[in-house]
Chains A and B, each alone.
Chain A
Amino acid sequence: AQSVSQHNHHVILSEAASLELGCNYSYGGTVNLFWYVQYPGQHLQLLLKYFSGDPLVKGIKGFEAEFIKSKFSFNLRKPSVQWSDTAEYFCAVNADGGATNKLIFGTGTLLAVQP
């Protein structure tokens, strides 16, 4: 079945630590890839997206993600996290080439950054 997997359900880091959150998907065709963030009490917000071109994409707040087609992966990274990065992070895939823009989400990773 088509799916999106996020390996880490809970991550706890100290400020200034580096972050990498894993995301793998099982679609075989062309995909559009997204990372969304949900801060406590707020709506889902787009961090970054990949459609084509450079597989290393940069998003807001210093986040970046790398699309590795051979590994079906789109991992999220940040070199130095801040307390304000505490949130839930969702990887999502659109697998219909933008025909509907429908997204399939992973289960999310809850990140807690300790000051």
Chain B
Amino acid sequence: DTGVSQDPRHKITKRGQNVTFRCDPISEHNRLYWYRQTLGQGPEFLTYFQNEAQLEKSRLLSDRFSAERPKGSFSTLEIQRTEQGDSAMYLCASSLAGTFGNTIYFGEGSWLTVV
């Protein structure tokens, strides 16, 4: 158990619906990351928070995607007006800033299927 929790683990939604994923990082970790992974590919970086500040967003994160980390603890990733191309596993990860060489720990991911 890495300590990074994601919910829900699986979500099937109809095209055009909105979905939200939640991530609870390891409690003392101040950095939080969202990645997306599709079949046959490695995880692709989407966005990164340090505490409550969203410091970097990938070009992969279209306007339909929004991520928040309101109190610097848990985070949500919302996808509006889902498209079939959004079907993927959404991974959350966390780490502790300020320690050189620290490791990123991943959650088990949230599978999204858009039908």
Contact = CB atoms under 8 A, between A and B. Distances in A.
Interface in A19-49: 32, 36, 42-46, 49
B42 A102 contact: no
Interface of B: 2, 4, 31, 33, 40-45, 48, 50, 55-56, 91, 95, 97, 100-109
A51 B100 contact: yes
B45 A103 contact: yes
Chain B at the A interface: SS class: loop
A103 B108 contact: no
Contact of B101 (A6, A43, A45, A51): A51
19 contacts: A6-B42, A36-B106, A43-B4, A43-B107, A44-B43, A45-B2, A46-B103, A46-B104, A90-B43, A100-B48, A100-B50, A100-B56, A101-B31, A102-B33, A102-B48, A103-B43, A105-B42, A107-B41, A107-B42
B29 to A, nearest CB: 10
Contact of B44 (A32, A36, A101, A105): A105
Interface of A: 4, 6, 9, 32, 36, 42-46, 49, 51, 90, 92, 98, 100-108
Contact of B103 (A42, A49, A90): A49
B80 to A, nearest CB: 25
Contacts of A92: 42
Given A51-B101, A100-B31, A100-B56, A105 B43 contact: yes
A99 to B, nearest CB: 9
